[in-house]
Structure 1
Amino acid sequence: MQQEKAMNESRVVQTRLVLPPDTNHLGSIFGGKVLAYIDEIAAISAMKHSRSTVVTASIDSVNFLSSVKAGDILTLESFVTGTGNTSMEVYVRVHRENLKTGEQTLTTTSFVTMVAVDDEGNSKPVPKVVPQTEEEKWLYTSSKERREKRMK
């Protein structure tokens, strides 16, 4: 197994159209729908990093910052920001784009912890993550504090 991987090797971007069945009676996307998207993209980033099956250990934080309406485009981006022995912290951010105006807004941020598992479901070691950009370095450094809070 490779001992270290650059953070950007786990980067995933997904784009989705928000349709009326995805929304509540106010025309805003269901929070649970966004959570499902976050869980899925976080898993993909963690699988790319670990090159193995992963399971969700926790969704550490979810911040819904602004609403998303039917007809908006959602762009989700995720990447591994920190690693333990078998776990990976994945940062996910979600932007909405109004197709008529082109306006883009950050709508949701989240940190998800994933654990790599083997074919029997036992946890397995993952490569260390190496930050390169200033944003990545900040997320990497702050991941240690978030990990300590999770462990309490």
Structure 2
Amino acid sequence: MSEILMPNDTNNLGRALGGSVLHWMDICGAISARRFSNCQVVTAAMDHVDFIAPIELGDVVTITGYVFDTGETSMDIKVDVQAERPSEGESADAATSFFSFVALDADETPASVPDLECPSTAQQELQAEALSRRQERRQALAETADD
């Protein structure tokens, strides 16, 4: 999905509010989960968010999400944010995180989701990268908690 960073979503420095970026990431993750499961979904968890680079007023913001792992009723989604300045021909990674969503049936109870299939090499590589990155993040958090 794409957005343009407008004044209502900026701080006093003319950069994106973190909360606005998180909102966009949550929506993108929900769209990915809903398309995959063909069900209503709710956000169950969001891992540590890395804000990599600022998003400036007027930047075109592209948020991309994809399912990289599933449980019986849950889906793990990697969400990446990229900021583009079309007038300058520049783009940069701006944020990234992992979300977990739960599928719901008509009674709003957890519903089964399809098994994840990654038939192409590109899909398998995306999945492996996401699983590896998430494991690295969890390990780093565990080590920080132990300190």
TM over 0.5: yes
Quote the Cα distance in structure 1 between the aligned partners of 2:60 and 2:36: 27
Quote the Cα distance in structure 2 between the aligned partners of 1:28 and 1:15: 17
**Identical counterparts, % of pairs:** 35
Quote the residue 2:35 is aligned against: 48
Among 121, 132, 143, the residue aligned to 1:142? 132
1:114 aligns with 2:101: yes
Among 20, 27, 49, the residue aligned to 1:62? 49
Pairs within 5 Å for 1:98-109: 98-109=85-96
Among 87, 90, 94, the residue aligned to 2:81? 94
The runs of 5 or more residues in structure 1 that have no matched partner are: 1-13
1:121–1:103 CA distance, 2 compared to 1 (3 A)? same
Amino acid at match of 1:92: V
1:80 aligns with 2:67: yes
Report the TM-score when normalising by structure 2: 0.85
SS in 2 for 1:25: coil
Q: Once superposed, which parts of structure 1, at least 4 consecutive aligned residues long, lie more than 6 Å away?
A: none
Q: Which structure has greater helix proportion?
A: 2
Quote the Cα distance in structure 1 between the aligned partners of 2:86 and 2:5: 11
Quote the residue 2:2 is aligned against: 15
1:138–1:88 CA distance, 2 compared to 1 (3 A)? same
Report the TM-score when normalising by structure 1: 0.82
Aligned residues: 136
For the aligned residues, what is the CA RMSD? 2.1
Quote the Cα distance in structure 1 between the aligned partners of 2:65 and 2:127: 15
Residues 48-86 of structure 1 deviation map (CA, whole Å, 9 limit, x = unaligned) = 000000000001121100000101110111110100110
Q: Which structure has greater strand proportion?
A: 1
The runs of 5 or more residues in structure 2 that have no matched partner are: 143-147
